[in-house]
Amino acid sequence: MKNLILFLLAFSFCGISFSQLNLNEIMAGNEFIGHQPTDIVWSPNSQIIYFRWKHENEAVAPYYEYSLATKKYRKLTPQETHLMPVNGFISDELYSWILFQKGNELYDWNAGSVKNIYSRFSYFSVHSVLDKNRLLLRDADNLFLFDKSSFSFRQITNFQKGNKPSDSDEKSFLENQQEELFEIVRSDKNKAASRKKFNEEHTIKKLSPVYMEGKYLSFISINPQLTQVIFGLDKYPEDKPTHIEEYVTDDGYSRSVNARAKVGSQDPTHEIFVWNLEKDTCFELTVDNLKDVKKKPEYLKEYATDISNYDPFYPEPKKVIFHDHGFNDSGDKWLVEIKSYDSKDRWIAYYQTGQNELTEFEHQHDEAWIGGPGISGWKSEAGNVGWINNTEVFYQSEASGYSHLYLADFNPKAGKSAAEKTQLTSGNFEIHQATLSRDKTKFFITANKNHPGNREFYSLTIADQKLIPHSHQRW
């Protein structure tokens, strides 16, 4: 009791006072404690930082800019933001052509000057910038090539909704009888066939359509040479929604609105296909050759009624989802990350052009749950995977018990395996974020090396694999 009194007296002499929070203040969240800047992006020349920042009594967060030269920030007017890349920009790898989009307007940014180069009433998006002249635009489900040097605009892919028309040429009994009995019917049909053949011979052949048959495009990946397209098709189950009643409405009348489907609905299915634009051929890439893709989780054995006849393998590959990580610069390899729907397995593989299957080089398995920094425990989210150059790939793995950065080389030294792997970081800590530098010689890394609750900043040069701390240096 004496110690408690001394403790309270010490607080009173220090002048510390306590104020009671009320529920309205607590529930106000950021409106009470203050908002932090959001939507932070660099300008193309890396001299300005754009961000949004909401202050007290503001309904919407306005735009600001921070100048590295003056070390000052200022609020931007709505008119100023019209011709500024305040929401980010896109460019080719050499930063030779820089673009940004405002709604349905596309702008060219060049040393501070801005020029509108493309406008459209319907929605479109920039798929990728190939070089200083060529740009791929995505309009609906198709890619279009815009070349500013030749002022040309042409369609690259030909995806179409619906099913492929039937090739069946079966005729009814009446049609066959008419053709047998009347010379004029046979003559008209022959003339129509001849006209069709003539028109086909005198028309430039177009790319054959790929019908999606009720499925949805999840991604389109195309090599820089515009000769190979790899795309994903997803099919979602037709779940019956539940309904809830909404009582707080503008007009004062309650209304029934859709809610999520009941738990236990079927998982969607995912497929990937290779489309050779030069040969105009298309085929599916399967996962049949992936390691343990048919293996059941161990816990299922505990529910087996007859353990002596228990089969540890499914008859078909288990459901997986694909994450596109793009082609290398040479355009001969496409990188893909694959996760199982039971969250027990993760594969990283590549497709070599000219082949008809995936080549797996990394398999991660966890009977509990695949996840961790740079891996993600959510199967619908891609991990930290990417190309360093034409033959080297980086990825993260928890093979050591901690999430670390690895490198796989598809052009190994003599006597080595098909994919030589190197662990770039190691130790009893996690790599929380690893970003490849623009020149692709180093990684900028966030890790908790000094304490599990800390986040320190490092750089790692790929050539010497040295992890250099920069926590107290200015960047």
Predicted confidence (pLDDT) per residue in 111-120, tens digit: 778 999 999 9
pLDDT value at 170 more than 70: no
Question: How many CB atoms are closer than 10 A to CB 194?
Answer: 10
| pLDDT of amino acid 33 | 77
Are the C-beta atoms of 348 and 360 separated by less than 8 Å? yes
**Model-level pTM?**
0.84
pLDDT value at 8 more than 50: no
- What is the mean predicted confidence (pLDDT) over 310-336? 96
| pLDDT of amino acid 178 | 66
| pLDDT of amino acid 214 | 93
pLDDT value at 5 more than 70: no
| pLDDT of amino acid 316 | 96
pLDDT tens per residue across span 119-150: 998 899 999 999 999 999 999 999 999 999 88
pLDDT value at 260 more than 90: no
| pLDDT of amino acid 322 | 98
Q: How many residues does the chain have?
A: 475
pLDDT value at 36 more than 80: yes
Closest Cα to residue 114, out of 51, 49, 44, 66?
44
If you average pLDDT over every residue of the chain, what do you get? Answer: 88
**Tokens standing for 12?**
């009173």
CA distances from 422 to 328, 374, 396, 407, 434 (A): 19, 17, 11, 5, 16
Return the domain boundaries, the chain: 22-160, 212-423
| pLDDT of amino acid 16 | 47
- What is the mean predicted confidence (pLDDT) over 207-226? 94
- What is the mean predicted confidence (pLDDT) over 173-200? 72
Backbone phi and psi for residue 415, each to the nearest 5 degrees, phi listed first: 85, -5
- What is the mean predicted confidence (pLDDT) over 268-294? 95
Query: 177-192 burial, b for 16+ CB within 10 Å, e for fewer?
Result: eeeeeeeeeeeeeeee
pLDDT tens per residue across span 382-426: 999 999 999 999 999 999 999 999 999 998 665 566 789 999 999
Residue with tokens 């738990």: 263
Backbone phi and psi for residue 193, each to the nearest 5 degrees, phi listed first: -65, -40
pLDDT band, very low/low/confident/very high, at 177 (cuts 50, 70, 90): low
pLDDT value at 31 more than 80: no
pLDDT value at 51 more than 70: yes
pLDDT value at 270 more than 90: yes
pLDDT band, very low/low/confident/very high, at 204 (cuts 50, 70, 90): low
**R_g of the chain, CA atoms, integer Å:** 30
pLDDT band, very low/low/confident/very high, at 6 (cuts 50, 70, 90): very low
pLDDT value at 475 more than 70: no
pLDDT value at 41 more than 90: yes
| Percent of the chain scoring above 70 in pLDDT | 90
pLDDT value at 471 more than 50: yes
pLDDT value at 13 more than 80: no
Q: Lowest mean pLDDT of 202-206, 287-291, 383-387, name the range.
A: 202-206
Question: How many CB atoms are closer than 10 A to CB 228?
Answer: 21
| pLDDT of amino acid 262 | 81
Compare 24 and 107 and report the one with higher pLDDT.
107
| pLDDT of amino acid 347 | 98
| pLDDT of amino acid 188 | 76
pLDDT value at 373 more than 70: yes
| pLDDT of amino acid 327 | 97
pLDDT band, very low/low/confident/very high, at 179 (cuts 50, 70, 90): low
pLDDT value at 240 more than 90: no
Longest dimension (CA), the chain: 120
Q: Lowest mean pLDDT of 185-189, 352-356, 386-390, 395-399, name the range.
A: 185-189
| pLDDT of amino acid 273 | 97
Angle between helices 183-201 and 173-181 (to 10 degrees): 100
Q: Lowest mean pLDDT of 23-32, 37-46, 194-203, 408-417, name the range.
A: 194-203
**Tokens standing for 151?**
């002022």
